[in-house]
């Protein structure tokens, strides 16, 4: 069977400015799946990217979705040093072909009619200009120079498919390892006929085989045994292994990666070397007579057990973020249906201390605690003190925990001063420090409904305030003595609570619980933000609402929220109608970042009537289309996106917007039409900036008023025609004319 592919070319040298310089990843590169050599460097494939390690210098470089790859969740990889070609296989069945000329996405894999199984690429083996691709449906031959699939054998009988775990080409034969046996077939006209693979002499041996590889010899492995030979007759390595993870055959060696050890044999089966990593392993390679092993959590190990990898979080699972003073804290839990804990990750939190990533040893040394950490927040007045919430069903695990310098200090199990009525009672969700450094934490399923905890520093304990409305909550937001808690489950809504900056005293508190009577589209609220105008933006499971001046609004009998109406295809439409809004964030220019479940991230104008950007997994480096948290570093303008598949960072256009100018930057500059066809951006502007753009002779070309700290020019003049090549001057003043700035833009058409 031959099938021409839909190939999407993605040349690294021609990536647009926005894609190359504005995105960076905070992925984990700990879990090394494969290692290959390429002259003076090692190439390692991990879950979300590739990294290159140069043994002579110790240098490490990364290749990920932020700068060239097209996806995350890598499941297979191989590299041919002779042709400088690598192939990355993903869990969704797509491929990236890495060449010196760019990275090419292959999206059209061959699938049999009626096949509904996994599309995951199980294994890739390159041999010259061909690669053999193993998957759940069978095995395919991929022509690398033409970037198209050729012969494919669907391993199916009676609608039941036999997955191919790995395959390799040797002497015009393809050898495959499956759960039913080791098989081979010549690359000829009957290659695609499944019954041919099961007939003698193609069925070499029945059994459950995980791995096959070939070079000078053919070797194959079950979970605990390795055999090797010429393809027809085989010998057995005498050792019984524990759990074989990988098998690699070179010109003169057979390398077996077991659970935590690597064994190196010559091609006669005589052991040459044994390396005990005392860590879980995935793969291994001998390079320049030195053994390198790929670990599950420490990157590459050399024989001295040095951890060689890019710095990054312990794992890619990410849920909520906290930023403070160039530090980052990442929680790793999740919830199902917003009312029960998801499958526990058993992961703790990750912390970037400004120079390196830290994974506290407390989480590796306490395997009996069921961790499902939904939130982690630092104390703004003492960032070495950190609190995290463990949203767990287990009474000896759920609660609020305090860490000092990433070491355990105390746990406040949320039985607290209440009788624990069962595993679902008193589960803390999220925490927030207010401007007076009071710590308030939202709690689900108190004895009367929902509530919040206030941290009493004198007694070093948490005091609960019960609120008789429903039974579940989201992470809280605090500002100016107000507490906002979205309630997503059952007959939920939005809690707007005025504690008058005195959370220890409730006698003067007032609150309002917003629901459909207040014009919410649904009573299941998920997210909340306060913008620079003190308007409350409420994200629900069915759309967006805005409440003006909430502190005053809760004194009204029935305050009403408002929707936002935009024009779509000439018709008036409600912004985000019926969409589930996971997160809302406000930058210093009052623009809004909104995450839609399954819909990516929208960047909106201050009043929401204009979409500036819409980032999705398809058109940006986002790992997936459900961003669970958005945090903005207002000093740098960086926007951090958390997903369950990893963290991606976007260099935003707005940073520390005030009434005066900051560091004005024009980019790209020069603007070369052959390389970039988008708008020119200017950042570092005042909150309101008057702009005049002139040519070198002083003639006015364009004028505008920019709000929010940045401006985009489409390079058109006043008549809507693109300007000619040349130098253009940007003359800027702030709103009252007390501050000025200038810039130059070079245009090359």
Residue that terminates a domain, selected from 621, 656, 691: 656
**674 and 652 within one domain:** no
**615 and 712 within one domain:** no
Q: From 569, 622, 634, select the one nearest 598 (Cα to Cα).
A: 622
CATH number of the domain at 447, please: 2.120.10.30
Q: Is residue 368 part of a domain?
A: yes
Q: What are phi and psi of 317, to 5 degrees?
A: -60, 125
Calculate mean pLDDT across residues 472-483: 95
Higher pLDDT, 336 or 17: 336
**468 and 354 within one domain:** yes
What is the domain extent for residue 724?
665-748
Residue 490 has pLDDT above 80, yes or no: no
How many structural domains are present in the chain? Answer: 3
**643 and 577 within one domain:** yes
**706 and 650 within one domain:** no
Residue that terminates a domain, selected from 656, 686, 712: 656
CA-to-CA distance for 190 and 335, rounded, in angstroms?
50
**670 and 652 within one domain:** no
Q: Is residue 421 part of a domain?
A: yes
Residue 17 has pLDDT above 60, yes or no: no
CA-to-CA distance for 136 and 59, rounded, in angstroms?
37
Calculate mean pLDDT across residues 364-390: 95
Compute CA distances 319 → 66, 335, 347, whole Å: 19, 10, 11
10 Å Cβ neighbour count for 552?
10
What pLDDT score does 158 carry? 85
CATH number of the domain at 604, please: 2.110.10.10
How would residue 10 be classed by pLDDT, with cut points 50, 70 and 90? very low
**438 and 342 within one domain:** yes
DSSP bridge pairs for 139: 134, 153
**725 and 584 within one domain:** no
Q: From 170, 98, 111, 101, select the one nearest 137 (Cα to Cα).
A: 111
How would residue 343 be classed by pLDDT, with cut points 50, 70 and 90? confident
What pLDDT score does 574 carry? 95
**724 and 586 within one domain:** no
**570 and 471 within one domain:** no
Q: Is residue 64 part of a domain?
A: no
Residue that terminates a domain, selected from 612, 636, 656: 656
Q: Is residue 610 part of a domain?
A: yes
Helices (H), 5-87: 17-21
| Sequence-distant (≥ 6) Cβ neighbours of residue 374 within 8 angstroms | 319, 320, 331, 333, 334, 335, 389, 390, 391, 428, 429, 430, 475
Q: Is residue 575 part of a domain?
A: yes
**403 and 447 within one domain:** yes
**686 and 616 within one domain:** no
Q: From 102, 52, 110, select the one nearest 77 (Cα to Cα).
A: 52
CA-to-CA distance for 339 and 450, rounded, in angstroms?
12
CATH number of the domain at 708, please: 2.60.40.1930
What pLDDT score does 421 carry? 58
Q: Is residue 34 part of a domain?
A: no
CA-to-CA distance for 698 and 75, rounded, in angstroms?
58
What pLDDT score does 680 carry? 93
Residue 19 has pLDDT above 70, yes or no: no
Q: What is the pLDDT of residues 591-616, one digit of tens each?
A: 999 999 999 999 999 999 999 999 99
Residue 246 has pLDDT above 80, yes or no: yes
Q: Is residue 432 part of a domain?
A: yes
Residue 716 has pLDDT above 60, yes or no: yes
How would residue 13 be classed by pLDDT, with cut points 50, 70 and 90? very low
Q: Is residue 457 part of a domain?
A: yes
DSSP H or E segment with residue 551: helix 550-553
What pLDDT score does 333 carry? 94
Residue 471 has pLDDT above 90, yes or no: no
410 contacts 399 by C-beta, under 8 angstroms: no
CA-to-CA distance for 137 and 115, rounded, in angstroms?
7
């Amino acid at each position: 069977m031959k099938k021409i592919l839909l190939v999407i070319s993605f040349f690294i040298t021609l990536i647009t400015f926005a894609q190359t310089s504005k995105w960076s990843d905070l992925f984990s590169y700990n879990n090394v799946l494969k290692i290959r050599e390429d002259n003076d460097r090692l190439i390692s494939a991990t879950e979300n990217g590739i990294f290159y390690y140069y043994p002579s210098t110790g240098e490490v470089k990364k290749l990920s979705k932020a700068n060239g790859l097209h996806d995350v969740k890598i499941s297979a990889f191989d590299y041919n040093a002779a042709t400088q070609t690598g192939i990355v296989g993903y869990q969704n069945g797509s491929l990236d072909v890495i060449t010196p000329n760019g990275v090419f996405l292959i999206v059209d894999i061959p699938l049999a009619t009626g096949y509904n199984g996994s599309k995951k690429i199980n294994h890739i083996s390159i041999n010259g200009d061909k690669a053999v691709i193993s998957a759940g449906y069978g095995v395919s031959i991929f022509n690398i120079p033409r970037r198209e699939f050729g012969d494919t054998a669907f391993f199916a009988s009676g609608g039941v498919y036999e997955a191919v775990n790995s395959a390799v080409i040797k002497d015009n034969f393809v050898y495959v390892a499956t759960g039913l046996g080791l098989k081979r077939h010549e690359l000829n006209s009957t290659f695609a006929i499944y019954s041919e693979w099961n007939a003698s002499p193609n069925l070499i041996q029945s059994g459950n085989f995980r791995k096959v590889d070939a070079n000078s010899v053919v070797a194959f492995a079950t979970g605990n045994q390795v055999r090797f030979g010429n393809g027809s007759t085989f010998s057995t390595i005498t050792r019984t292994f524990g759990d074989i993870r990988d098998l690699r055959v070179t010109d003169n060696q057979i390398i077996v990666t077991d659970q935590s050890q690597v064994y190196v044999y010559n091609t006669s089966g005589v052991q040459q070397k044994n390396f005990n990593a005392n860590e879980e392993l995935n793969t291994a390679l001998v390079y320049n007579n030195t053994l390198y092993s790929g670990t599950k959590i420490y990157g590459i190990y050399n024989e001295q057990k040095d951890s060689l990898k890019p710095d990054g979080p312990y794992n890619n699972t990410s849920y909520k973020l906290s930023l403070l003073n160039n530090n980052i804290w990442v929680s790793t839990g999740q919830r199902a249906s917003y009312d029960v804990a998801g499958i526990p990750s058993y992961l703790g939190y990750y912390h970037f201390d400004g120079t390196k990533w830290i994974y506290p040893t407390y989480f590796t040394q306490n395997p009996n605690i069921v961790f499902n950490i939904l939130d982690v927040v630092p104390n703004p007045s003492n960032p070495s003190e950190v609190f995290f919430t463990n949203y767990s069903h287990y009474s000896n695990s759920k609660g609020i925990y305090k860490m000092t310098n990433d070491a355990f200090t105390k746990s406040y199990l949320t039985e607290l001063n209440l009788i624990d009525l069962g595993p679902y009672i008193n589960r803390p969700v999220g925490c927030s420090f207010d401007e007076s450094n009071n710590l308030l934490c939202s709690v689900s399923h108190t004895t009367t409904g929902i509530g919040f905890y206030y941290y009493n520093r004198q007694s070093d304990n948490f005091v609960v305030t019960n609120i008789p409305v429903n039974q579940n909550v989201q992470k809280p937001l605090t500002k100016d003595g107000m507490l906002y808690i979205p309630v997503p489950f059952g007959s939920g809504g939005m809690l707007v609570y005025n504690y008058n900056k005195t959370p220890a005293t409730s006698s003067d508190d007032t609150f309002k619980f917003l629901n459909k009577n207040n014009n919410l589209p649904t009573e299941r609220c998920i997210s909340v933000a306060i913008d620079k105008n003190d308007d409350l933006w409420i994200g629900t499971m069915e759309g967006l609402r805005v409440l003006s001046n909430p502190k005053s609004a809760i004194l009204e009998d029935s305050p009403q929220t408002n929707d936002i109406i935009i024009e779509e295809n000439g018709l008036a439409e409600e912004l985000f109608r019926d969409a589930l809004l996971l997160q809302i964030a406000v930058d210093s220019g009052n623009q809004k970042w909104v995450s839609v479940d399954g819909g990516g991230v929208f960047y909106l104008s201050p009043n929401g009537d204009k979409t500036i950007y819409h980032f999705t997994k398809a058109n940006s480096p986002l790992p997936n289309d459900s961003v669970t948290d958005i945090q903005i570093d207002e000093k740098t303008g960086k926007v951090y996106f958390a997903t369950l598949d990893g963290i991606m960072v976007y260099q935003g256009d707005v940073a520390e917007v005030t009434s005066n100018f900051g560091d004005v930057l024009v980019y790209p500059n020069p603007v070369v039409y052959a390389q970039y066809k988008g708008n020119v951006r200017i950042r570092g502007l005042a909150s309101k900036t008057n702009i005049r753009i002139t040519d070198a002779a002083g003639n006015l070309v364009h004028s505008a008023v920019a709000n929010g700290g940045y401006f985009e020019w489409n390079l058109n003049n006043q008549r809507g025609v693109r300007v000619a090549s040349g130098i253009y001057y940007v003359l800027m003043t702030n709103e009252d004319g007390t501050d000025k700035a200038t810039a130059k833009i070079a245009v090359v058409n």
